[in-house]
Amino acid sequence: MKCNTLFAALFMVALASTAVAQHNHAGHNHSMPGQAMASELARPVAGPHGGSLKQAGGVQLETVVSQGGIQMFVYDRNGRAVSVNQGRGAASLRVEGNAKRYRYDLLPDGKGGLTAPVNLSQIAGRQIEIDVQLVGIEASSGQPLSLKEVATVPASEMQLAAAAIARQKICPVSGKPLGSMGDPVAVDVNGQRVFVCCGGCVNAVKSDPAKYAAGRPQITVATSTAADAQAIAQQKVCPVMDEPLGGMGTPIKVSVGDKPIYLCCKGCIKKVQAEPAKYLAMVYGDQKGTEEVGSAVAAASALNISVTSSTQADAALIARQEVCPVMDEPLGSMGNPIKVMVGDKPIFLCCKGCIKKIKADPAKYLAMVYGGGSAGAVPAGTDQVRAGIFKVSAEDAPFIAAQKKCPVMDEPLDAMGGPYKVHAAGKAIYICCPGCAKKIAAEPQKWLAVLAQQGVNAPTLR
């Protein structure tokens, strides 16, 4: 009873604010005849279900946006719930940055509201614009009700954690990439979450929270000593310049957490300080290289690569291609050209020695033969909508226009709220929705090859 009285009081305050606004704008009502348009309250007011309240046609409309869809609740002037069992409506939704609108039916849900059940989890954190039309609401005197609302789709706890892990990148205790030791572990440090690579690092954070509160490993710089000789011999080269350690004087020792990285000179220190996770992976992350090789082999298998000798029927294609994409030698200069079929696309080579190169990186050579040369470069991106999924910028526009469709879903890039940009073996691929990112991350070479078969040369990342 007390709860209903409190809601009623809130509604009366909201209505009073709206009434003042309407009085100040007397004679300027632009709604269509016979239609009640919702007016914004002077200040946002939260409704009983946590949504936003607006007035329309003498009633209050509450809009609730969740990852599971859109809900509408109706109340009278006294804050009492109005039955919507005979009501129905439609919600027209537009995602920020996308001109396309999506229409969903609002129907009674048996719980006192009108609901449009739609999965909005893929646009969590994005702002949406909603146009609502309701009919059959008894308390509105038979008038249709209209509402315009702008809301942000809330992110789930899992998505918030994933975004925080993507920002932090590395364990502040061990210096290892988060995720390299299984699921990262969250530790509360003065009310904020710091992620560590494994349970073994938790006590270190708890014993010295001030040291690890920033979520970044401590980076120290020193000149290497004789005690580092074995580690230097094992690392061999500087990960920044790819120069032999010792070739430019005594190596510099940069410790990221408890992991030492040896550099050829002081000029490389800033690079490691700016991107410690990148250089830790280069020195300690052998697994990544293995995964990339496996991905390329899998892609080759998936694309059904076959090898034969060319025949007279291939003469026109050989004349058009002119040179071997591996050796840049004229086709025919080393005997009868070799014909390698990558899917349904032929690539002609100068000799059998080039076959391995095609099998190892089919996307690269398909792009060289069919992709019209260099695709240019685009920024890697900084504004993430989810871990590893980036918003596009004006520099991406020509490449989005060239790619046109998502390689995973074969849908227009703007069909599902996109386009978005993901990284694939040093190149950018554009996708229609965040849900496609996992497939590209799992098999980057495969999807680069798919684009290359379509004549699209993915731009490199810079």
pLDDT for the residue 299 = 41
Give 234-257 pLDDT, tens digit per residue: 999 998 877 889 988 899 999 987
Nearest to 316 by CA among 295, 337, 290, 287: 337
Q: Residues 325-364, buried b or exposed e (16+ Cβ, 10 A)? A: bbeeeebbebeebbbbebbebbbbbbbeebbebbbebbbb
Question: 144, 35 in Cβ contact below 8 A?
Answer: yes
Nearest to 260 by CA among 225, 215, 288: 225
Pick from 173-177, 189-193, 344-348, 384-388: least confident? 173-177
Question: Per residue, what are the HEC states of 410-454?
Answer: CCECCCCCCCEEEEECCEEEEECCHHHHHHHHHCHHHHHHHHHHC
Pick from 29-43, 54-68, 101-115, 348-362: least confident? 29-43
pLDDT for the residue 22 = 34
pLDDT for the residue 40 = 39
What average pLDDT does the structure give for the chain?
80
When pLDDT is averaged across residues 63-81 and rounded to a whole number, the result is 93
Give 152-198 pLDDT, tens digit per residue: 999 888 888 888 898 888 888 877 788 877 889 999 988 889 999 88
Q: What is the CATH number of domain 2-25+32-152?
A: 2.60.40
pLDDT for the residue 371 = 55
pLDDT for the residue 4 = 38
When pLDDT is averaged across residues 396-415 and rounded to a whole number, the result is 84
Nearest to 78 by CA among 157, 130, 11: 11
Out of 130-139, 162-171, 212-221, the most confident range is 130-139
When pLDDT is averaged across residues 37-65 and rounded to a whole number, the result is 77
Q: Beta strand pairing status for 36-37 and 145-152? A: parallel
Global confidence as pTM: 0.39
